[in-house]
Amino acid sequence: MRKLVYLFTIILFVSCKNSEDVVSSVAAERGVIAEKAIVVSARKEASAIGLSILQKGGNAFDAMIATKMALAVSYPFAGNLGGGGFMVYRTANGETGALDYREKAPLLSSKNMYLDEDGNVLPQKSRLGAMAVGVPGTVAGIFETHERFGSMPIAKILEPVIQLAEKGFVITEKQQRNFIKYRQLFFEANQDTILFARTYAEGDTLKNPALAKTLKRLVKNGRAEFYEGETGEKMVNYLQEKGGILSMEDLEEYHTHWRDPVNVKFKNLNIISMPPPSSGGIVLGQILKMIEDFPLDEYGHNSLKTIQVLTEAERRAYADRSFYLGDPDYVDIPVDSLLSSGYLDRRMNTFSFEKATPSSSLEHGKIPGYESDETTHFSIVDQYGNAIAVTTTLNGAYGSKLYVEELGFFLNNEMDDFSSKPGFPNMFGLIGAEANAIAPGKKMLSSMTPTIIEKNGEFWMSVGSPGGSTIITSVLQTILNVSEFDMTMQQAVNAPRFHHQWLPDEILFEPSAFSEEILGSLRKKGYNINEGESTIIGKVDAILKLPDGRYEGGADRRGDDAAVGF
Ligand code: DON
């Protein structure tokens, strides 16, 4: 069947940019096809810079650093120096691993820091301005990656990024709309008109010379520039001036963690994904194991039965997320039990096609002995066979909106990913418990799900997405669209998505993408439908290895995302 789809799919090869046959732009039904290497990210400038590093002989890790920093320049919505993220990798010889460069709670933070005297949550405090900022991990993440896997000098890797910051990037229509949308909040957080709050038209070129200077100092002084040097000091001064609690001590104590990825077998696929402090790998793995025995391909893509099975598995997995998951350096997480087939079969025992399981009747599962919107993803495969999946974030759009003008970058509002108070939803409607309570130095629980998949022991897919709580289910559906529903990578990314996260007890649907017949049938079975509160669900960038050994990039139509390859 898959072969037939390939056969009838119209493949459009668009524009060869330079002599090396760079393929750019995206075809409707099938994404960009590349012979040897491919980069898919949220901006074409960033994808092109990543690819240029590969063309100079660099590897996927060198390209990761370049792409990531190019996103900080051209996609300040989520690309960052003032945030954090995760990388999952698989090297050409099959070694896999994960890097955690997630933000941390400042040392002066405390469990009830976002509550007023009466114990009520002050949601703005964890979202806007200086108190929302967690200790950034991005710069540590890129230097750690470079130290372990880099093959080119950092100066050479960052050269095109610095040029991009100096020469500028072209503002897209979506970007221009966002600058206007967030202008008032930029002003509230900074009490000043920052670079991105000025008036721009679509097509204008935006230069960020301050960021170019910061990047040059990073080249010169390395990681210490950010965690001990001038950049760190300027950032901390700015934060403290605006009422923040982050100090130089926080920066000095920051470190990344290499972690063992979550490994889950789903049919003939080996899913390699992000472990805690992200919930991504565990929740994705739980859902996949819970649905494994249902013949989704027979039910059909986005059919009533498929939606029911996925929804009920998602509901159960997110209930566990809320109770069990947090920073593994602070809480014990029963990872093996949560992913064991026996446990997950029991969780699905109460499922029936006749009727929805109300979330109010469902808690986290019982494990014996246990007490207790903005992000961006990119995927790269290089010509040597190394693959990476990276998701990085400031949390909300432009993070805390706090922008250090002198340094050229935004600071995150990742503190909102903690549970400010048990049962009180964060900006993604997620509720948490003790496991994800605030503590000094602790990492806030994430949903980011950078994932690499092997088939028959070889690289098969690299995938990930932004979207807060909807990241996990976006990644899930993208995988299933290819593995169960025979779609091309681009079709899998394009297909309409839905999402359930236990609480609120509703299925979120992308607007106007699901028939009234299906929605009506779901309502009759007791499902609450939310169609339209979110305009899009996830923004997936992914790479699939085709049977003939070439790669297909899937760049999400929902953004300005672009795949390029050679
Ligand atoms: O780590 C997390 O799960 C969130 N901070 C991700 C935020 C996000 O995806 C926003 N993008 N739409």
* pLDDT for residue 373: 52
pLDDT band for 531, please (50, 70, 90 cuts).
confident
| 32-36, 173-177, 370-374, 412-416: segment of lowest average pLDDT | 370-374
Q: Is 534 in the pocket of ligand 1 (CB under 6 A)?
A: no
Is the confidence at residue 261, as pLDDT, over 90?
A: yes
Distance, in Å, from the CA atom of 467 to the CA atom of 470, rounded to the nearest integer, reads: 5
471 CA: nearest ligand 1 atom:
9
Residue with CA at minimum distance from ligand 1 atom 6: 468
pLDDT band for 534, please (50, 70, 90 cuts).
low
Mean confidence (pLDDT) of the chain: 93
Better-scored residue on pLDDT, 55 or 535: 55
Is the confidence at residue 11, as pLDDT, over 60?
A: no
The phi, psi pair for 457, rounded to 5°, reads 75, 5
What does the buried/exposed string (b/e) look like for 159-173 if buried means 16 or more CB atoms within 10 Å of the residue's CB?
bbbbebbbebbebbe
Closest to 389 in 3D by CA, of 463, 482, 458, 285: 463
**Taking the complete model, does pTM exceed 0.75, yes or no?**
yes
* pLDDT for residue 524: 98
Annotated catalytic residue 350: no
Distance 192 CA to ligand 1 centre (A): 26
* pLDDT for residue 159: 98
In this structure, the strands spanning 375-381 and 387-393 are antiparallel
Distance 427 CA to ligand 1 centre (A): 10
Given the residues 375, 393, 470, 473, select the one marked as catalytic: 375
Distance, in Å, from the CA atom of 430 to the CA atom of 488, rounded to the nearest integer, reads: 32
Pocket test for ligand 1, best of 471, 473, 508 (most atoms within 8 A of CB): 471
Q: Is 468 in the pocket of ligand 1 (CB under 6 A)?
A: yes
* pLDDT for residue 176: 96
Is the confidence at residue 14, as pLDDT, over 70?
A: no
Is the confidence at residue 244, as pLDDT, over 50?
A: yes
The phi, psi pair for 410, rounded to 5°, reads -85, 160
Residue 254, CA distances (Å) to 143, 171, 227, 423 in order: 13, 34, 8, 29
* pLDDT for residue 2: 37
Q: Is 447 in the pocket of ligand 1 (CB under 6 A)?
A: yes
Better-scored residue on pLDDT, 438 or 18: 438
Is the confidence at residue 276, as pLDDT, over 50?
A: yes
pLDDT band for 367, please (50, 70, 90 cuts).
confident
Distance 139 CA to ligand 1 centre (A): 18
E strand or H helix at 115: none
Q: Give the number of C-alpha atoms closer than 13 A to the C-alpha of residue 219, restricted to the C-beta side.
A: 19
Is the confidence at residue 13, as pLDDT, over 60?
A: no
Residue 459, CA distances (Å) to 52, 455, 487, 547, 550 in order: 23, 6, 18, 11, 12
pLDDT digit string (tens) for 21-77? 344 333 358 999 999 999 999 999 999 999 999 999 999 999 999 999 999 999 999
